[in-house]
Amino acid sequence: MAKPDTRPLKDQVVSEAFKVIAEAGVEALSLRAIAKRLGVSHQAPYKHFASRDHILAEVVARSFESFATHLEARPRSENGFEDLGFMGRAYLEFAMTHPLQYRLMFNTALPDIDDHPKMLAKSQRSFSILHDRLQTIPLSDLRDGLDQPAKHDAMFIWATLHGCCSILNSDVAKTLPLTDQDKADTMDRMMRRLSMALGALDAESSNGKA
Amino acid sequence: MAKPDTRPLKDQVVSEAFKVIAEAGVEALSLRAIAKRLGVSHQAPYKHFASRDHILAEVVARSFESFATHLEARPRSENGFEDLGFMGRAYLEFAMTHPLQYRLMFNTALPDIDDHPKMLAKSQRSFSILHDRLQTIPLSDLRDGLDQPAKHDAMFIWATLHGCCSILNSDVAKTLPLTDQDKADTMDRMMRRLSMALGALDAESSNGKA
DNA sequence: TCCGCCAGGTTGACAGCGTCTACTGAATGC
DNA sequence: GCATTCAGTAGACGCTGTCAACCTGGCGGA
């Protein structure tokens, strides 16, 4: 027997929306369905949120928060490259275990950021975790004369990680004959190639961990 | 004065849907709006498509087709690595000039593939262009014992390219202070890091083209 | 020539959606 | 004790995709 939820309706709405999106994706989010499930009229949520987008922004912000928390909670290492590897693993882990939440954050047409400063702040924090970590790691110099190498390398690493899980979780991947083992292998190889790209691993010296 | 479109309604519907998606994204696709714009009743398209998803699948298939065509039309090189580089450029080029179409193919919840074999075939062709090209290039051996290295390396390259333009075009990127120059720089650096990852470029020898 | 079929168009209806407006009742402040 | 404000309800509007019934012009066969 479920105990009745005594939290303010505002919190209940966000929780319920979060649950719906995690289970069925953002397309399935319906204000009226949520209101019905919470046992209130279809207009009640409007007393707490100006529009559907405002609820969505709240869920997105919350998703970024738990994503950042997951990254911070990775195993730590004194060795910068190893630590970066842990972060990469944590990134992939989150994306593969929370695919719809991940898709919501990175693959969706989000509400206008100007209207939702909280969402903006939470999303920026996720990127700065990666960027800050990179600052203290001696990556191989590419001598391409860019003035903010850490920023571009952060983008590169992010892009690779994102691309990997985004593709593996995408509908397009379903069009390819990929087993779960294939996916795991792809992630492993990607992590090794990533190490090579950053100058942390030679082709010759690699038959195990990065 | 626009000449009246004399093609079968079926073609007109697909063209119009394609146009809407390229201009305003898949969320803006409305059957009734299309019918109105074509000057027919809202039910007319149903004589040619079983549902909205069937129209969508047609547009997706067409998008994959033009994507593959764009990849095939890249400048060619006898040098395998250079040719791969051209392909990467062509990939980024398409994604940056057709952002909504790209997003449709790779970042959208697509119609069920089992119901749309044509869409499936067109999407597989895009991947096989990359995969086939890789087969004849001597990439650095990672000695990780995977039995289909080309497949996993194709996934890696695809993931990196996809991640790059997916992120640069995503709404999340708008939350970061990125100028157009930054984006171009990120793409350049990514292409160089990609070369390094594949063993085609040393850190020391790189201050120009890959 | 007439009949029937049928592909391709029409109109009308339905449920679901987000959102606007108006109303109600309870709590709060002066 | 009255006014204001907050939280929730109820109904309507226009939009969506989809189902059903109806109409119509052209074609094939008798």
Residues A37 and A134 in one domain: no
Residues A174 and A191 in one domain: yes
Owner of token pair 């333009």: B165
pLDDT band at A4 (very low <50, low <70, confident <90, very high): low
Residues A39 and A74 in one domain: no
Question: CATH number of the domain that B148 lies in?
Answer: 1.10.357.10
The mean-pLDDT minimum among A138-152, B73-87, B91-105 falls in A138-152
Q: Give me the CA A108–C1' D20 separation in Å, rounded.
A: 36
In a domain, A184, yes or no: yes
Q: What per-residue confidence (pLDDT) applies to B204?
A: 44
DSSP H helical ranges for B73-174: 80-97, 99-106, 117-135, 149-169
Q: What per-residue confidence (pLDDT) applies to A168?
A: 92
In a domain, A207, yes or no: no
- What count of Cα atoms within 13 Å lies in the side-chain half-sphere of residue B54? 10
Residues B44 and B61 in one domain: no
Residues A74 and A175 in one domain: yes
Q: What per-residue confidence (pLDDT) applies to A142?
A: 73
Rounded to whole angstroms, the Cα distance separating B132 from B150 reads 9
Query: Mean pLDDT throughout A30-48?
Result: 95
In a domain, B88, yes or no: yes
Query: Mean pLDDT throughout B18-39?
Result: 94
Report residue B183 as tokens. Answer: 């984006």
Establish if A203 touches chain B: CB-CB under 8 angstroms.
Answer: yes
Rounded to whole angstroms, the Cα distance separating B210 from B192 reads 6
Residues A143 and A168 in one domain: yes
Whether A48 has a pLDDT exceeding 60, the answer reads yes
Whether A206 has a pLDDT exceeding 90, the answer reads no
pLDDT band at A201 (very low <50, low <70, confident <90, very high): low
In a domain, A83, yes or no: yes
Residues B79 and B179 in one domain: yes
Query: Mean pLDDT throughout A69-81?
Result: 95
Residues A41 and A100 in one domain: no
pLDDT band at B38 (very low <50, low <70, confident <90, very high): very high
CA angle B178, B181, B183 (to 5 degrees): 55
pLDDT band at A210 (very low <50, low <70, confident <90, very high): very low
Spatial contact of A192 and B149, defined as CB atoms under 8 Å apart = no
In a domain, A208, yes or no: no
In a domain, A203, yes or no: no
Where in the sequence is the domain holding B121, given as residue range(s)?
Answer: 57-197
A4/chain B closest Cα distance in angstroms: 35
In a domain, A202, yes or no: no
Strongest mean pLDDT among A202-206, B65-69, B112-116, B164-168? B65-69
Question: CATH number of the domain that A21 lies in?
Answer: 1.10.10.60
Q: Which residues of B touch A163 (CB under 8 A)?
A: 158-164, 166
Query: Mean pLDDT throughout A199-205?
Result: 58
Residues A17 and A113 in one domain: no
Q: Which residues of B touch A203 (CB under 8 A)?
A: 140-142, 199
pLDDT in tens, A11-32: 999 999 999 999 999 999 999 9
Spatial contact of B93 and B161, defined as CB atoms under 8 Å apart = no
Spatial contact of A156 and B159, defined as CB atoms under 8 Å apart = no
Residues A80 and A13 in one domain: no
Provide the CA B171 distance to its chain's centre, in angstroms: 18
For residue B139, what is the nearest residue in chain A, using CA coordinates? A203
Counted domains in chain B: 2
Amino acid in the structure at residue A109: A
Whether A38 has a pLDDT exceeding 50, the answer reads yes
Query: Mean pLDDT throughout A155-163?
Result: 92
Query: Mean pLDDT throughout B89-101?
Result: 95
Q: Which residues of B touch A25 (CB under 8 A)?
A: 109
Q: What per-residue confidence (pLDDT) applies to A153?
A: 87
pLDDT in tens, A170-193: 888 888 888 999 999 999 989 988
Average pLDDT, chain A: 88
The mean-pLDDT minimum among A102-106, B59-63, B196-200 falls in B196-200
**What is the percent of chain A with per-residue pLDDT over 70, rounded to a whole number?**
93
Contacts of B69 (CB under 8 A, 6+ apart): none
Rounded to whole angstroms, the Cα distance separating B102 from B82 reads 24
The mean-pLDDT minimum among A85-99, A113-127, B136-150 falls in B136-150
Return the higher-pLDDT residue of A196 and B210: A196
Q: What per-residue confidence (pLDDT) applies to A204?
A: 45
For residue A195, what is the nearest residue in chain B, using CA coordinates? B197
Query: Mean pLDDT throughout A157-182?
Result: 89
Owner of token pair 């004399």: B6
Residues A71 and A141 in one domain: yes
pLDDT in tens, B132-190: 998 888 887 777 777 788 888 888 999 999 999 999 988 888 888 888 999 999 999 89
Residues A118 and A37 in one domain: no
Report if CB A46 to strand C is under 7 Å: yes
Q: What per-residue confidence (pLDDT) applies to B202?
A: 56
Q: Which of residues 62-81 of A touch B (CB under 8 A)?
A: none
Count the Cβ atoms, other than its own, within 10 Å of residue A31.
18
In a domain, B102, yes or no: yes
Of B25, B160, B196, the CB nearest to A160: B160
Q: What per-residue confidence (pLDDT) applies to A171?
A: 84
Q: Give me the CA B49–C1' D24 separation in Å, rounded.
A: 21
